[in-house]
A and B are shown apart, each in its own frame.
Chain A
Amino acid sequence: MLTKSIRLTDDEANELEEVVRLSGEVEASILKRAALRGLREDRLERAVLLYLRGSGTSEAARFARVPRARFIDLLVDKGISVLEGPSSLPEELDHVARLTNDRGLADVAAALGGTPGPIPPSASRVELAPAARESGRRRQGPPRKKR
């Protein structure tokens, strides 16, 4: 065990004294818990920065010392994008359409720009694209600001 000491201003010392009085806990325990919580918050903030600068969630979570699944959950809480563009949604829909032999879904995928699969397209799919995109945009409102 190591002992570390810190200097507090009068105001900070008064605040600590108040917490000790209200909680009935030992001052050293309160200080230790506060320091550990602070360190954790600091690591988490730095891990988020790492992620935003291009690290994967695994690396960032290791730095933050939190489970990866929890780190992803925390990113969502903070409103940080986990799934970045460009969109592969048309290709994904096309893939599902082929696996399930769903022509309607294949048409939508193709209208959105996916690679046409082996399912023959409907005649209407070219006309579908602009209307679908425009309608989707209207429904979703203006694009969010990039973080």
Chain B
Amino acid sequence: MGQRITAVLETSYWVLAWRADVAANCLDLFEMIPPRAVEKEIHEKDPLVPAGEFPYATLFRHLRDKMTDPPDPEPKPLNMYGPGEAAAIALAQKLGVALLINEAKAMKYASNIGLPTITVPTTIVVLYRNGVISNKAAWRKLELLKGNTAPVIIGDAAAALTALGA
């Protein structure tokens, strides 16, 4: 395992990484920095069930101490998008590091201002490349993303896995 990549975590990435069953594996690849607004979004409870905790929030709570705290104070969030996206883009820009994000709209903006972005399908390919997950696991996790990711992206991820020998 090589050196980890420092990257700011955005809410959409965490939820989709959890859905694809790679959220915990990501810590092998990334030194994750969750902005406070992202942490708040992940932990936010349903007003109708205030006592309950969503499973993606439970996993985050258990792994939070393996992540890196954002600077205090954090940079001013953008004046666009929701609190999580606005804080994550501003922080990644300030630190000059990659942004872990999985929602097309804010991701496009981040790319346009020159921020390197990394999505969950790419993460699956890199996890396989680095030997963190087996080829069988890589295909299974990619399969979990099929229903919520554009076919062209799934196709590219499948092509990359194949090219890498999966």
Contact = CB atoms under 8 A, between A and B. Distances in A.
Contacts of A139: 139, 158, 161-162
B163 A140 contact: no
B160 A99 contact: no
Contacts of B57: 69
State the majority secondary structure of interface residues on A.
helix
A54 to B, nearest CB: 8
Contact of A92 (B12, B54, B117): B117
Interface in B81-115: 81-85, 98, 102-107, 111
B41 interface: yes
Contacts of B46: 66-67, 70
For chain A, the bracket of interface size reads: 35 or more
Nearest to B15: A72
A140 B12 contact: no
Nearest to A105: B129
Q: Which of B14, B41, B145 has the most CB of A within 10 A?
A: B41
Contacts of B56: 69, 73
Interface in B148-166: 148-164
Contact of B85 (A58, A95, A111): A58
A93 B125 contact: yes
Contact of A85 (B41, B152, B158): B152
A72 B152 contact: no
A22 B71 CA distance: 56
A89 B119 contact: yes
Given A83-B153, A133-B159, A92 B119 contact: yes
Contacts of B84: 58, 68
